Structure formats: structure tokens, C-alpha cells
Amino acid sequence: MAMSQLAEKPMPAPTPEPRVRVENLRIAFPRPDAPPLEVLSGISLDVADGEFVAVVGPSGSGKSTILRAICGLLKPAGGEVRVDGRPVSDPPPEVGFMFQKDALLPWLTVTQNIRVGAELSGMSKAEQETRIPALIRLLRLDGFEDAYPKQLSGGMRQRASLGRLLAYNPSLMLMDEPFGALDYQTKIVMGRELLRIWEAERRAIIFVTHDIEEAVALADRVVVFSARPARIVADYRVDLPRPRDLRAMRGDPAFVHLTESIWSDLALPA
């Protein structure tokens, strides 16, 4: 081959290291009078930097379990989890969590709760002075800076939890049904807030949800688990344009088609 032809051929871009690499992961829980309960049976999943991956699947299939394994809280019966190339054993500092139930400290105000995340991240006092009020504005909690969790609605508590997570500034966010306990309207509002922030400051997110529409509306990819022991039965790329209008997109034929495909993967009645 002539040199000129070689020169014209573009070099393939190097593949960046995935933020998370789950390889052939098996998780089983010991049981007293029975063989171990196999929950994940050989799951492999890569999550790239800045990618938003949703995980859906039947109840009890192991969605929360995979999040706990990714942050090193469960020891695999087989396979491996790497975060930023390193095998996990303890929760890695670059990982932050958010659960269905807010984990705010009830004796601290909104500002103080968010400050916990900032302190944990090692943020300087000077930076906290600007960053915490900015987060409060971003999450539309202005006016509630000095309120205690019991004085907030469920949606506001989840927004404050998200504020603490963002103040911690993890490069990987593991979210386990973070909006699952909220009413439909608040859930949409929270999804919108999360997208607004994520679209501005891309971080890798693994987002577990029961809600197929929520998964498609938010994520770049939707991974579908089978019933326990979980395998990945489908892995969809969601090519809907961003920024997304969560209300308008529900009528988009591509959105409807994708949610229907996932319903049928889960073999659930329409």
C-alpha cells in the first residue's frame, strides 16, 4: 500500500477506559438451610465516563445488588468490578450514592446537610461559600436554606439529598430509585432537575428504576435485567436528542417504540 494511502486513513481513536467495568459478575447470598441464593449470574457491563445508564428489571432481580457490588459493599462469588481501572473492595471515594429514601441528617438544616457532602469532598471553606448557595439555587431550594428535613416536602428532601451528592462531587453517581417514593408530578420535576445538572456537568450515572418511561426519558442507555438470577436481556441505546423535554418526548414515536420493546423484554402486560 502506498504511503499516501496510509496517511489518508484516519487512525482509530484510542478507546478510553470505562469508568465502570463489570465483568462476568456473580453474586450469591448464603442461606442457612439451602444453597446460596444466586442473584446475579454472570453480568458484564461497561459504563463510559459521562454516560447515563438506567437499569430496569423485575422486582427482586438484583438491581440494587449490582449497585452495592459496584461500590464494593458485596464480595463477588465470581467475576470482577473495576472503577477507573481499579478492582473495588471498599467504596471508592469517587463514587456517590442516592437512594429512594433520603439520607439527610435530621438535626442539620438544608445548608448544613449539603455542607456534609462538601466537607467530605475536601472542598475549601472559600469554595463552599459560593458552591453551596449555587447548588441551593440550582435545586430551587432558595428560601429553605435554614429549614430542617422534617419541614420539607418529600420532593424537597430528595432535592436536598441530590444537593449533598453534588456537593460531594463524585465522578460516578449510583442512584437507586431516587425518585421512586415521589408522586408522579414531583418525579418528573426531579428528573428534569437531574437532567439539567447532568447535561451541564456530565458525570457517569447508573440509575436503577422500576419505571421504564423514566429510564428511557433520562438515560443514554437502558439495560434490562431478567428475573433472578439476573442476566442482561437487552441493552438499548437511547438516541433521543438532548436537551430533552420530558413531557413532549413521551409522545415521540421513538420513545413509545423503545418503551414498548422494554415492556416486551420484561414480558409484562401492556
Ligand X SMILES: Nc1ncnc2c1ncn2[C@@H]1O[C@H](COP(=O)(O)OP(=O)(O)OP(=O)(O)O)[C@@H](O)[C@H]1O
Question: Which residues contact ligand X by CB under 6 A?
Answer: 29, 37, 39, 57, 59-65, 210, 228
**What CA dihedral angle connects 188, 267, 51 and 43, to 10 degrees?**
140
For cell 418529600, the residue is: 154
For the CB of residue 34, give the shortest distance to ligand X in the complex, in Å.
11
Q: Nearer to ligand X by C-beta: 85 or 269?
A: 269
57 residue type, one letter: G
In 10 A of CB 231, how many CB atoms? 17
In sequence order, the β-bridge partners of residue 29 are 37
Residues sharing a CB contact under 8 Å with residue 249, sequence separation 6 or more, in sequence order: 217, 240, 255
Q: Nearer to ligand X by C-beta: 29 or 263?
A: 29
For the CB of residue 35, give the shortest distance to ligand X in the complex, in Å.
13
For the CB of residue 180, give the shortest distance to ligand X in the complex, in Å.
8
What end-to-end distance do the CA atoms of the chain give, in Å? 57
Q: Return the SS3 of 176.
A: strand
Rounded distance between C-alpha atoms, residue 49 and residue 92, angstroms = 16
Q: Nearer to ligand X by C-beta: 95 or 132?
A: 95
For the CB of residue 37, give the shortest distance to ligand X in the complex, in Å.
6
In 10 A of CB 206, how many CB atoms? 27
Q: Nearer to ligand X by C-beta: 70 or 95?
A: 70
Q: Nearer to ligand X by C-beta: 103 or 105?
A: 103
For the CB of residue 17, give the shortest distance to ligand X in the complex, in Å.
27
Rounded distance between C-alpha atoms, residue 220 and residue 240, angstroms = 8
The answer to whether residues 182 and 194 touch, using CB atoms and an 8 Å cutoff, is: no
For the CB of residue 81, give the shortest distance to ligand X in the complex, in Å.
15
**For residue 144, which phi and psi values (nearest 5 degrees)?**
-120, 20
| Nearest in space to 1 (alpha carbons), one of 9, 73, 140, 233 | 9
Q: Nearer to ligand X by C-beta: 159 or 228?
A: 228
Q: Nearer to ligand X by C-beta: 64 or 171?
A: 64
For the CB of residue 101, give the shortest distance to ligand X in the complex, in Å.
12
